[in-house]
Structure 1
Amino acid sequence: MPRTIQRPLPDGWTFPDLHPVLQRVYAARGLSRPGDLELGLQALIPYSSIKGIDTAVQLLVPVVTQQKRLLIVGDFDVDGATSTALAIRALRLLGAQNLDYLVPNRFDFGYGLSPELVEVALTMKPDLIMTVDNGIASHDGVAAAQGAGIPVLVTDHHLAAATLPQADAIVNPNQPGCEFPSKAACGCTVVFYLMLALRAYLQQQQLLAVAPPNMAQLLDLVALATVADVVPLDHNNRILVEQGLRRIRAGHAIAGILALLQVAGRESSRVIAADFGFAVGPRLNAAGRLDDMSLGIECLLTDDPQRALELARLLDDMNKDRRQIEQGMQDEAMRFLQSFDLSGEMPTGLCLYQPDWHQGVIGILASRIKDKVHRPVIALARDDSGCLKGSARSIPGLHMRDALDEVHKKAPHLMKKFGGHAMAAGLTLNEDGLNEFTRLFDQVCSAHLSEAELTQTLETDGALQVADYSLELAHALRWAGPWGQGFPEPQFEGVFTLVQQRVVGERHLKLVLQPQGSDLVIDGIWFNIDTQRWPDYSATQVTCVFQLDVNEFRGRQSVQLMIKDMNSN
């Protein structure tokens, strides 16, 4: 088990009306005043400080008032799909009718508004192109559209390069000079804010031919995108996620989200943020990974519950196929890593490549291997043009996009393009440069990461008292979120007597545990165990890192520990 450390607590913290454990949890995440717990819409940051939003609104006004034809160019992940669906739904609510979308198939066009995609877009005869969740790096694509007489509005949240595309308007909190405080906004949130600004302008100028719509009805899409895109849950993002979750629990979600929850076996009335990350998000993503994200977007656009369920079932089948493909790739990657275990010379930055790996699954593979070895990982697959497409995942201490930029400056001939965030990025590489790229990437990672940063640790919220293993606290923790990236779900550590262990399913360990020094016995479950380590029938006392959860069986609720890691003492 990795080394565990308790999250540090600041001085002077207190939330006197809360359970002491919940007080401790909030304080460790930087909350220190009552306003930090305010998750109402009135606490949202206003849109007025977003650079470029007024110009963007002016570009969109004719789409509503003159029925100009808008083409939305999306992306093939959950953030891109929800951004596309939200833009169309919001503009329809405002009275627009000539709306269409185009999502680049990752296998044919790759990411973003490329000149090749513009050629396809021109056949659809748009009056305006709007990118969502992409575009900040699409210099050539923007120029190609404008050269054909089509203005371009870029909405994005990815980090900008040294220069910006010469778009007619850019709305991106991460562009230079933007004073919007929440730099962690996902692409769907950027579109949501733009639609709020558009509605306000149309209302002020008395240009609406319909009753002003309540844009809060779109927050289920924003919540899904925020969690699935793994952006940090700062205060603004926590408000958006919580408000979206409340709408879903109240039965006000769109048909597609309800259908995806249904096929995943989740109750919409009890949905939490983790259900987006582990149930809804992967099923939507499967369309973009294996085929065409248009299937996922259609699921999010339909208002027909039966149609939504049919599409959700197709997405569920795709996700099962994705899991099979991913498992095979992961087994190959682990066999490759065993050679480093034997030599004891694991690189600081890992590049993994097999010619037959699936382009759509390398992102998940990179993430899985990163979690196992606690190193920055790039997984690569060959595309139809003979180039290598790479998906990169990082660990704290290394900004992945900046690391790729360093490699590019050392050897500009290697990468055709790259972009992304601190923790995740993508790239296109010339195949004959793989060995040089691998060496340079390892050098850059080694220069930035210390031995301490390469030592995997599990942050916990400390130990629980015996009285804390209660349904009251388990329920309080469940609903005290939303939890996610940068605002992690509480997990604790403790020593237990191992009363019973057995494997259920293929790789899940069912446990009965007794907290040290007590007569209490508690059920536990550990999903996807390392079968080389567990079950260990010689173990009698264990140290566990776990989350306190509620198990429901035949109408009866009981406390259950969700094991995250465990060592025999």
Structure 2
Amino acid sequence: MPRQPTPAAADAPPVRIRRLGEYPTAPANVSALLTRLYAHRGDAAPAVSLEALLPAAGLHGIDAAAALLADQVQRGGRILVVGDYDADGATGSAVALLGLRALGAADVDHLTPSRFHHGYGLSPAVADAAAERRPDLIVTVDNGIASHAGVERAAAHGIPVLITDHHLPGAELPAAAAVVNPNQPGCGFASKHVAGCGVVFYLLAATRAELVRRGWLAAAGAAPARKAPSLASLLDLVALGTVADVVQLDRNNRILVEQGLRRIRAGACRPGLRALLEVAGCRVQDVTARDLGFAAGPRLNAAGRLDDMTLGVECLTTDDPVRAMRLAQRLHQLNGERRELEHGILDEATALVERMAAEQGEVPPVLCVHGPHWHEGVIGIVAARLRERWHRPTVVFADAGDGLLRGSARSTEGLHIRDAIDAVDKREPGLVTRFGGHAMAAGLSLAPALLADFRAALGAEIERQLGGAPTVREILSDGELPAPLLTLHTAAALRRAGPWGKGFAEPVFDGVFAVSHTSIAAERHLKLRVRLDGAPPLEAIGFHLAEHRGSVGEHVRLAYRLDINDYRGLQSPQLVLEHLEPVQ
């Protein structure tokens, strides 16, 4: 399923196409093209081998964490996994549950906090709910690094906590029994961008090694009652969580994703993941990282946004294909409801930004908006849409129901949004109630009366960091694709050459094309028939670009991805437009 980019509006920042390299000659064949693409991304070849993964031993604290888990496995202790309500948290919880059971854990359960009743992470309320299940150990997945109060509450109940997380820590770590987080102080693990599901996958590998060392499991080749299981069967879920969380696809993450994609294409994936892809209309045998990010991921996320992510965890862990399909269909339905909510809130938020721009004479340096009836579950998506349209850091707030506003922030390249909020918090203590997150996304809470002050403070901090120059939306291009390579063969090779994603961007090309036909599809999408000298005519589609039809003349400059259009089993090359501009 191709991504549907948000169009540049008339009041959006200017767009600049910047080529990643200039060469005197065009690539002669697909092999030469791929060599050039990898070079543009700072790599010489695709990352595919599991043997090239970074060793688990590089994660600080993993030995102590593995020993804790091994103790519980051997004594038959009750382990409770506390995840997060997004796709990374759900896949990570599923990886933990399936992996621990495969290692021989007799009693493993999960508790996924509600976005609406508990909030994010291991809060005191979640620790109380966990205590009712009388676990011997709580294992957090994709959360916990900021859960000081929750860890203390669990300790008061006599329950140790093992934290696995990848979010940035504060000045002090919670007083947990063990912490595994590549971003904690003193951790030399080279892949700082590993997702939460990847962290727990590494912990399971270390726990398996510890159980082999203790003789509880046998190493490969031996034949006792308990054999060490292969954890590679979990990589389809690791791939989904890694892509859906939009973490940087460094070499280590690309290996994890590619290995997971290979399992999916071979039909060796979990029934729930297969069902999610099928209800989204994806061909499982041809699945790409884009399908995980824009088809399976949003449907899984819909549970945490509108309902209860327990639904998503159950979909990923069930062994029953019939039940998996039933759960996937429910997630598909929730995703449709999420889209409707999103569109309504986006229209209102867009009107607020336009009003602010009219009053101030320019678009503010940060877009910070709130609606009294907005749904908390979709404000992150709305923030991303506003950011795409105006290319400004954006924070969208909704009423949390506890007297506070809960905000979801999205950033632009070059601005670490979590650190910017931290700077505001240090400069004006008490303005922000709590916050956390990454470079490109963060969450926070504050009192409604402080919203205007926060907007001003964050805007000032962003201007300090970025300056007052107008923002330019930049499209990075791999250059012009020569006519002999505008083929179905090239499009298929590009699909196989990934996985592409954040930090290892899917190839975008640009060039000037002759236009022979224009039309509108579904009232919103622009369709073109174009031709490059020396090549047959090609179909091009610009999702949500219908408003640009009037500016298309006989020739047009396009920034595009070369993809495959699969219509009723007939495949043809297709240009998917990222940007177009008229040629005089």
Measured against the shorter chain, the TM-score band is over 0.9
1:185 is matched with which residue? 194
Cα distance in 2, alignment partners of residues 191 and 10 from structure 1: 43
* Structure 1 residue 557: Cα displacement: 2.4
Identity of counterpart residues, as a percentage?
Answer: 49
Contact preservation (8 Å) 2:30, 2:493: no
- Helix, strand or coil: the match of 1:241? helix
Quick one: distance in 2 between partners of 1:556 and 1:397? 42
1:131 corresponds, among 137, 140, 152, to 140
Q: Report whether the alignment pairs 1:4 with 2:13.
A: no
Shift of 1:16: 11
Equivalent positions of 1:450-461 (< 5 A) are 450=467, 454-461=471-478
Paired residues for 1:404-483 under 5 Å: 404-450=421-467, 454-483=471-500
In 2, the alpha carbon distance for the partners of 1:451 and 1:527 equals 32
C-alpha separation in 1, matches of 2:52 and 2:552: 54
Deviates more, 1:223-232 or 1:540-549: 540-549
Query: Deviations along 1:294-332, whole A, 9 cap, x unmatched?
Result: 000000010100000000000000000000000001111
2:182 maps to which of 173, 180, 185: 173
Partner of 2:324: 308
Question: Bigger relative contact order, structure 1 or 2, given CA contacts below 8 A and separation 6+?
Answer: 2
Find the aligned partners of 2:470 and 2:362 in 1 and give their Cα distance.
Answer: 17
Which of residues 345, 348, 354 is equivalent to 2:362? 345
* In structure 2, C-alpha distance between the alignment counterparts of 1:558 and 1:452, rounded to whole Å: 43
Residue of structure 1 equivalent to 2:215: 206
1:20 aligned partner? 32
Residue 512 of structure 1 is matched in structure 2 by: 529
Deviation of the 1:551 alpha carbon: 1.8
For 1:233-382, what aligned pairs fall within 5 Å after superposition? 233-342=249-358, 343-382=360-399
Scaled by the length of structure 2, the TM-score of the pair is 0.93
Q: For residues 519 and 49 of structure 1, do their structure 2 counterparts lie closer, same or farther at Cα, with a shift above 3 Å needed? A: closer
Residue 536 of structure 1 deviates from its aligned partner by 1.8
- 1:534 and 2:548 correspond: yes
**SS of residue in 1 equivalent to 2:451:** helix
For residue 403 of structure 1, what is the aligned residue in structure 2?
Answer: 420
CA displacement at 1:526 relative to structure 2: 1.5
C-alpha offsets along residues 357-414 of structure 1, whole Å, 9 cap, x if unaligned? 1000000000110011011000000011120000000011111111000110122112
State the shift of 1:19 in Å. 2.3
CA distance in 1, matches of 2:38, 2:307: 41
Using the alignment, how far apart are the partners of 2:257 and 2:135 within structure 1?
A: 33
- 2:169 corresponds in structure 1 to 160
1:18, distance to aligned residue in structure 2 (A): 5.7
**Distance (whole Å) between structure 2 residues aligned to residue 509 and residue 15 of structure 1:** 30
Task: Please state if 1:101 is matched with 2:118.
Answer: no
Residue of structure 2 aligned with 1:231, choices 247, 264, 267? 247
Shift, 1:451, TM fit: 5.3
Matched position secondary structure for 1:37 = coil
Closer, same or farther: CA 468–453 of 1 in aligned 2, 3 Å: farther
Alpha-carbon offset, residue 46 of structure 1: 0.6
* Inter-partner Cα distance in structure 2 for 1:273 and 1:434: 38
Change (3 A) 1:425 1:326: same
C-alpha spacing 1:10/1:417, structure 2 compared with 1 (3 Å): farther
1:557 corresponding residue in structure 2: 571
State the SS of the aligned residue for 1:381: strand
Equivalent AA in structure 2 for residue 24 of structure 1: R
| TM-score normalised by structure 1 residue count | 0.96
Q: What's the offset of the Cα at 1:106?
A: 0.8
**What residue in structure 1 maps to residue 5 of structure 2?**
none
Which residue of structure 2 aligns with residue 486 of structure 1? 503
Is 2:70 aligned against 1:64? no
Does the CA-based 8 Å contact 1:500-1:511 persist in structure 2? Answer: yes
RMSD: 1.8
Match of 1:31 among 22, 43, 52: 43
Alignment check: 8 A CA contact 1:10 1:28 kept: no
Provide the aligned length of Structure 1 versus Structure 2: 561
Partners of 2:23 and 2:372 lie apart in 1 by: 50
Flag structure 2 segments of 5+ consecutive residues without an equivalent: 1-7, 9-14, 218-224
* Aligned-partner Cα distance in 1 for 2:411–2:444: 14
Q: 1:9–1:24: 8 Å Cα contact kept in structure 2?
A: no
In the aligned structure 2, how far is the partner of 1:49 from the partner of 1:151?
Answer: 24
Residue matched to 2:222: none
**SS state at 1:401 partner:** helix
How big is the shift at 1:58?
1.4
For structure 1, the residue ranges without an aligned partner over 5 or more in a row are none
